[in-house]
Amino acid sequence: MKVTNGKLPGIILCEPQVFKDTRGHFLETYQEQRYSECGIPWSFVQDNMSFSRKDVLRGLHYQTDRFPQGKLIWVLQGRIWDVAVDIRRGSPTFGRYTGLILSSDSYLQIYIPEGFAHGFCVLSESALVMYKVTKPRAAEEERGIRWDDPRLGIAWPIDDPVLSEKDARLPLLSSVTSADLPVYNPDGTVAD
């Protein structure tokens, strides 16, 4: 497996080894020891799958530091543009984002640590996205930031995204209370 650091501290890109032949292909999408050795030492407690149609934009979502989630994300079918935003109070990269294309053709995975907001938009006719999380969903701890927040300046590669009502009403980062933002720790973890 090839592992590289992302453009923001804590973001890790994984390229699993793919074995192909005339029948198709095989790959390991996760193996605890190998991923731990590559800098993803957290255990995952839940797997999620999302199906979305072209131009759907989901995000930007996160859970508070009372119940933060790290995510290992990859695409089973289709193509998306995936975004992670550092929203950890006190982080030297607070408010910065990174975006990259994930597709079922590339097998690339991204690990987004706790303390980051996450979102994606669908570039293909549809996409099936899989992600492992370090904590289960806690509805009372779910928060979000507007996808088009001018402070973030995210260059989404679609013009007219399809949003849920909830995502369309998310606040700007400047409107989020300090208590609802995770706290930066230099060791890369979210503060308790």
User: Which residues are catalytic, by number?
Assistant: 61, 131
Ordered strands of the 79-86 beta sheet: 97-103, 79-86, 116-122, 57-63, 142-144
Structure letter (DSSP) for residue 6: -
**Phi (first) and psi of residue 160, to 5 degrees:** -130, 80
Q: Dihedral of the CA atoms 165, 69, 83, 73 (nearest 10)?
A: -110
| H-only helix segments in 113-178 | 165-168
**Among candidates 56, 35, 73, 29, which has minimal Cα distance to 84?**
73
Residue 36: partners with Cβ closer than 8 Å, 6 or more residues away: none
C-beta neighbour count of 50 within 10 angstroms: 17
* 36: helix, strand or coil: helix
